[in-house]
Every structure is written in structure tokens, then in C-alpha cells.
Amino acid sequence: MLYGLADCNNFFVSCERVFNPSLEGRAVVVLSNNDGCVISRSNEAKALGIPMGCPTFQIKDYTDPRQVVIISANHVLYRDMSHRVMSVIGETFDAIEIYSVDEAFFRLPYPDDDVRNRELAAAVVRKIFKYTGIPVSIGVARSRTLAKIASHMAKKDPTNKSRVQVLTDASQIADVLSRTDLSDVWGIGRRLTVSLASRGIRTAAQFAALPPSMVRSLFSVTVERTLMELRGEDCQPVSPVTMARKSIMNSRTFPKVFYRREDVADAVLTFAEMCAKHLRDEHSVASTLTVYVRGDYHREDLPFYSNSCKVRIPSPSSSTMVLVHCAMQALNSIFRRGYAYRKAGVMVTDLQPESGFQPSLFSQVDEQKHSKLMKAVDKINNMAGAKVVKLAPQVSAEAARPQRNYTAGRDEAIRFYSAPPKG
């Protein structure tokens, strides 16, 4: 069995370049929520020495800020582009598992034909770029850990025009592992790297040569599986993309501290609304909702307060009205006047398929009516734009809106985006 990993190159930056081609060839960085730090870099920005996670105010320590295009993140756009990329992959390969917003594992159809697999993967790379404009690298191997290493090779090799790397030959694998630092192996964290280095184990090849029983006794069965994966044994089969989530959470640090309940409530309402939409998108319902609030622990001049409240939803639901009602109940029980609030969030748990639960006999909510109403609202918002139809209490979303000082006209360009053709 052969597995592949499709990895979008500099994904957030690549999304921005789709809508602003003038960014090609320039040093570009995308910032986190509230413009805190760098979360995506173009190859040109990497060449300037700007590290991942670099605080925005420290970019000037590495290079002249005028050499770098700084852009505030737009995660709604990135999720949409990710969905389009994953849809193309899913049309071609079986058992796709979305590992992150820019990575997906899948199973290849020809276990013993590297040439056909390479051609098929290269065709998918071209198709993704044609339909979305996103450059993708694909690694192919007999385990997911080796596929991860192969995709990294395809991404870093400028001479590999197909952006596909097949890593199945035993001698080639041995050579690659001998040149791979242990810290670059998927599943080997910083603390484990230090622990193994103290025993003289610094490369992936040295690690793969260890006795599995010894690794399991010294560390864990998970680390042993990583070792076996480096030997080409599949220890972590790909799971289908339909695997259900156990929870959904929406939260944000506010651009400034808020004192009024109205501001915090508006943010909590927005987060509850987002959770409800995610539930409906995944055809799920939730039974429990949790709201938390937190002050600014960096401000020594302000009294710090943090609290949370969990409520049981009377009948499992994905209705915006039901979740917002529960969220407001939870907020009312934990909000304290006189404190400054810098962050809030809403989490829904105890998820189950919407078609597989038994409604409460004593519920006062007509789930059928709510379901029809929510479908109508989602349809209107999908056609006319998000937030066209919203709940009346939601006056504004200032508290839930992240700080974004680096848009550079990007939003105007995105407005004219249309869906790519299929087929």
C-alpha cells in the first residue's frame, strides 16, 4: 500500500497571491489574529531570515520592513481555498484524510507501479494549480511519516518541476534518512529530540536503527510507531475525511479591553452563531455549550478575572437561536462588572450526527421549524454574503472582529472571486 501527502506551499501567502499577482516574487508574510506574529512566509521572506512566529514588531530586526509585504490574515478565505484544494484531491484519490488546513493524506491506487503513481500525483498537482492557483507538493511512500519526508523533499527541491517525490526505494530511503535531522521527523518533538540527542541519536537513520522494544520501553508506543513508520511499515492507517469532530470552538482575543457587558455579549453571540453554522455544515448537533471569558493578564494595572460556564442544551441542536440563548445564559452567570475583558470564547461538545439522535419529548423547541429556518438563512447568506441575515440582538461585531491593519486592498479583490470550474 502506498500513501501520499499533499502539502500546499506557503499556503496563506499562496492564497493572497491568487488575488494579488503583484505579490509574486516578493517577500510576503501573513500575520496571526490581531496582527500578533508571522504565521506564513513566502520563500523570499524566508531568505531574508524572518522566522516563523516572529512578532510583528520584530520584523524590522531582520530586514527593512519596506522590503516585506505584511498582510493581516483572512481565515475565512483560507478555509474556502482549502476546501477547494481538498475537493480536487478527493475527486482523484481514495481515503483522503485532511490533516490540517493545507495538508491531506490519501491512498494511491497502484501499490507496485511508481511511474503511474508519479504521473497521477503530478496530474493532480497541475489540476489543483489550474483550478485554485495554489502550488502543491506531493510526497509518496509506504507510510505516512515517510510520505511527510518525501513531500518536504519535493517542496525544497527547485529542480523538481513536477513537485512530486516518490520515496519507495530502500537505498534511497536510507540515504534520505541519514541526511534528515531527527527534529524534522513528524512525531518527534523538541523534548524527545533532546532526549535522543543525549544518547547520541541525531538523525532519522540512527533512530530507525534502534530496537523497537527499547524505544517502546524508554518512551512510548507512539514513538515506537514512528520508528516503524520510518522503516516503511504503515502503523497509522489513513482515516476517512468524514471522521466526526468531538468539539467545535470559536474564540478570539479582542483588539482592546472591554468593560461593558454589551460588548462581550456581542462577541459571545457571534461565536455561538459561528459554532452553530459549523455544526450545520458538518450535519451535526451539540448537547453541551461552554462559554469562557478572560481578562488581560499582561495588564498589571487592571484586576484580572477569568471564568467559564458549561450549560446543557435541552435537546441536541444546531440552531443558531438555541445556541445563542444558551450562550447568553452562560455569560450572564459569569460576567462581573468592574473587570476588563480581553478574550472570550464558545465551545460546543458532545457532538452527534443530526440524523442519529432522539429529540427530547419535553423540549419546547420545534427542531423541524428551526431546521427549516436555519437552512433558509444559510442559503441566503451563502448567496448574498455572510451576515446578510443575522439575529436582531447582534448590533455589531466589533469585539469579535480581529485587529487587521494590513489588508492592502486585498478585501476588494476577493469580493470579485468566483468559484473555479469543475471537471
Sign of the four-CA dihedral 186, 188, 189, 194: negative
Q: DSSP strand E in 84-236: where?
A: 94-100, 103-107, 136-141, 164-167
Sign of the four-CA dihedral 388, 390, 392, 393: negative
CA 25 distance to own-chain centroid: 26
Does residue 371 surpass a pLDDT of 80? no
What HEC string does 317-340 produce?
ECCHHHHHHHHHHHHHHHCCCCCC
Residue 123's pLDDT band, with cuts at 50, 70 and 90, is very high
Q: Locate the domains of the chain by residue range.
A: 1-113+122-141, 247-384
The yes or no reply on domain 247-384 and CATH 1.20.120.530 is no
Q: How far apart are alpha carbons 190 and 182 in whole angstroms?
A: 10
Distances (CA, A) of 74 to 34, 138, 183, 217: 11, 25, 30, 45
DSSP 420: P
Does residue 264 surpass a pLDDT of 60? yes
Closest CA to 378 of 235, 282, 264, 257: 282
393: number of Cβ within 10 Å: 11
Closest CA to 180 of 193, 164, 166, 161: 193
pLDDT digits 0-9 by tens, 177-195:
999 999 889 888 888 999 9
Q: What is the mean pLDDT of residues 306-330?
A: 91
Contact, 349 vs 287, CB < 8 A? Answer: yes
Q: How far apart are alpha carbons 183 and 26 in whole angstroms?
A: 29
259: number of Cβ within 10 Å: 13
pLDDT digits 0-9 by tens, 30-68:
998 778 899 999 999 999 999 999 998 899 888 887 889
The pLDDT, as a whole number, for residue 361 is: 56
Mean pLDDT, all residues of the chain: 84
The pLDDT, as a whole number, for residue 356 is: 61
Buried b (16+ CB within 10 A) or exposed e, 62-91: eeeeeebbbbbbbeebbebbbebbbebbee
pLDDT digits 0-9 by tens, 206-254:
999 999 999 899 888 989 999 999 998 888 654 544 445 678 888 888 8
The pLDDT, as a whole number, for residue 369 is: 77
Maximum C-alpha span of the chain = 68
Distances (CA, A) of 26 to 17, 44, 69, 290: 10, 6, 8, 43
Residue 146's pLDDT band, with cuts at 50, 70 and 90, is very high
pLDDT digits 0-9 by tens, 389-420:
666 655 555 555 666 667 654 544 444 344 44
Strand partners, 5: 105, 139
Q: How far apart are alpha carbons 419 and 173 in whole angstroms?
A: 40
CATH topology of domain 1-113+122-141: MutS, DNA mismatch repair protein, domain I (3.40.1170)
Q: How far apart are alpha carbons 98 and 113 in whole angstroms?
A: 25
Does residue 13 surpass a pLDDT of 90? yes
Does residue 137 surpass a pLDDT of 80? yes
Does residue 364 surpass a pLDDT of 70? no
Residue 110's pLDDT band, with cuts at 50, 70 and 90, is confident
Under DSSP, is residue 224 helix (H, G, I), strand (E, B) or coil? helix
Cell numbers standing for residue 284: 451535526
Contact, 319 vs 327, CB < 8 A? Answer: no
Under DSSP, is residue 384 helix (H, G, I), strand (E, B) or coil? helix
Does this chain's domain 1-113+122-141 share its CATH topology with 247-384? no
pLDDT digits 0-9 by tens, 61-84:
888 878 899 999 888 889 889 999
The pLDDT, as a whole number, for residue 418 is: 40
**Which residues lie below 8 Å from residue 371, measured CB to CB, with a gap of 6+?**
319
If you search the block for the grid coordinates 459549523, which residue do you land on?
Answer: 278
Cell numbers standing for residue 324: 445563542
The pLDDT, as a whole number, for residue 385 is: 60
